[in-house]
């Protein structure tokens, strides 16, 4: 996925354009990452397991741990809410104009004046015509989506605050250690199981997980997440991951769905989420720098077209091909053209669209300038590109 969508041009006379316009399929290797938004529930089968009670010296210690968890949950549970995504109902015989397309969770993190603010996941509210927040006592409140960001999978909602008393406290995710106990609170399988609590540990910090945002089979982004074995199920998206002090240290976001995999839940570290939450609350969107080009990875282009159209030196095996340039953009002003092959950004080699996007969004200041090195007809050229704002 590039930075801009450009109108399709008449490409009958140009095989390069015909190739560029085609779909580059691919299958992501590894586990499938799925957001934990519940879109339907089948309760036809349930399993129960029982175990005999064994007495030992460990029994009192277990009771203490349970008491600690209970106190922590009581402190924060009412700040975790249900979030329902209502979309247009196209059924002409329906009694209402909307129907629930999915349900997730959210965390009340702030109350100011007559309003309260809720953080949830972008994929929980994506495409919603209306959003309804359900409090712990079952009260439903109409919510306003202040802003939503697909890249970080975060969204901020505003609701009337008169009936809200419990506000979650943010902790510090940078001090987490593997093995540290955590508690997940959310609504697995929807509001029927609202306020469900699961426990576990931090299995890993600073995990980097590739994400296919536009579902085209190509990795678009690399999400930095916390890994936990606390159960995170459909409907838990946007819920709270708590430390032992009851502070929110993560926003539950996704799990790895693979037949041979269990106990791998992922959460957005709260330290990464806080600046995004602040920008969404205040501005309604997150602004990021853009080159002003649509891009394609070199490895996706067959060798015969690569040799005929790009004329790259034999030693160049990785890079990013410019598919099109937005008129008037920084790349256009700098002289970058279609078919240029970008290999370096500010002295750092870039071999994929994901790497370039990750660098721009995390290392470069908005509307600054970057030095781009790219091959054109076998010659390495240098461009100074003034970045523009990309929403």
Residue 52 inside a domain? The answer is no
Please indicate, yes or no, whether residues 301 and 256 belong to a single structural domain of this protein.
no
The answer to whether 231 touches 184, Cβ cutoff 8 Å, is: yes
Structural domain ending residue among the three candidates 260, 285, 310: 285
Residue 311 lies in a domain: yes
Binning pLDDT at 50, 70 and 90, where does residue 107 land?
Answer: very high
298 lies in the same domain as 178: no
Examine residue 9 and state whether it is found in any structural domain, yes or no. no
Q: Which residue would you say has higher pLDDT here, 92 or 233?
A: 233
- What pLDDT does residue 173 have? 97
Please say if the pLDDT value at position 61 is more than 90. Answer: no
Q: What is the pLDDT of residue 206?
A: 86
| 122 contacts 155 by C-beta, under 8 angstroms | yes
The residues that are catalytic are: 123, 153, 237
- Which of 222, 254, 285 marks a domain boundary? 285
Asked if residue 127 and residue 147 are part of one domain, the reply reads yes
Where among 285, 306, 321 does a domain terminate?
285
In a domain, 1, yes or no: no
Whether residue 275 is found in the same domain as residue 370: no
The answer to whether 35 and 153 are in contact (CB under 8 A) is yes
pLDDT number for residue 213: 80
Q: Is residue 38 very low, low, confident or very high in pLDDT (cuts 50, 70, 90)? A: low
Same domain, 221 and 322: no
Domain that holds residue 218: 28-38+63-90+97-285
What CATH number corresponds to the domain at position 144? 2.40.10.120
The enclosing domain of 372 has a CATH number of 2.30.42.10
What is the average pLDDT score of the chain? 82
The whole-number pLDDT of residue 66 equals 57
pLDDT of residue 191: 78
Q: Is 347 found in the same domain as 221?
A: no
Lowest mean pLDDT, pick from 78-92, 109-123, 325-339 = 78-92
pTM of the model: 0.75
């Amino acid at each position: 996925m590039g930075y801009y969508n450009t109108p399709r041009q008449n490409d009958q006379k140009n095989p390069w354009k015909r190739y560029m316009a085609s779909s580059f399929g691919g299958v992501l290797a590894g586990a499938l990452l799925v957001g934990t938004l519940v879109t339907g529930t089948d309760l036809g089968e349930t399993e129960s397991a029982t175990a005999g009670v064994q007495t030992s010296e460990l029994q009192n210690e277990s009771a203490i741990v349970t008491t600690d968890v209970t106190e922590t949950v009581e402190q924060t549970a009412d700040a975790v809410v249900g979030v329902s995504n209502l979309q247009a109902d196209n059924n002409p015989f329906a009694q209402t104009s909307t129907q629930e397309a999915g349900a997730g969770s959210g965390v009340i993190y702030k109350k100011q004046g007559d309003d309260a603010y809720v953080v949830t996941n972008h994929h929980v509210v994506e495409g919603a015509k209306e959003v309804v927040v359900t409090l712990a006592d079952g009260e439903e409140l109409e919510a306003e989506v202040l802003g939503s960001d697909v890249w970080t999978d975060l969204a901020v909602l505003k609701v009337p605050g008169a009936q809200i008393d419990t506000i979650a406290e943010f902790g510090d995710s940078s001090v987490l250690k593997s093995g540290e106990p955590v508690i997940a609170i959310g609504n697995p399988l929807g509001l029927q199981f609202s306020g469900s609590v699961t426990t576990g540990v931090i299995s890993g910090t600073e995990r980097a997980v590739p994400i296919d945002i536009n579902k085209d089979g190509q990795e678009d982004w690399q999400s930095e997440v916390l890994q936990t074995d606390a159960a995170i199920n459909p409907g838990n998206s946007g819920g709270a991951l708590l430390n032992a002090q009851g502070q929110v240290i993560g926003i539950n976001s996704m799990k790895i769905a693979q037949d041979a995999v269990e106990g791998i839940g992922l959460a957005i570290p709260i330290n990464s989420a806080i600046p995004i939450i602040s920008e969404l609350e205040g501005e309604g969107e997150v602004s990021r720098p853009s080159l002003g080009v649509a891009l394609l990875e070199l490895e996706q282009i067959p060798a015969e077209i690569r040799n005929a159209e790009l004329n790259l030196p034999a030693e160049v095996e990785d890079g990013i091909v410019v598919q099109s340039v937005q008129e008037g953009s920084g790349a256009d002003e700098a002289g970058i053209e279609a078919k240029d092959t970008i290999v370096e950004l500010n002295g750092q080699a870039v071999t994929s669209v994901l790497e370039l996007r990750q660098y721009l969004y995390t290392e470069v200041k908005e509307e600054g300038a970057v030095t781009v090195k790219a091959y054109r007809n076998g010659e390495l050229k240098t461009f100074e590109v003034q970045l523009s704002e990309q929403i």
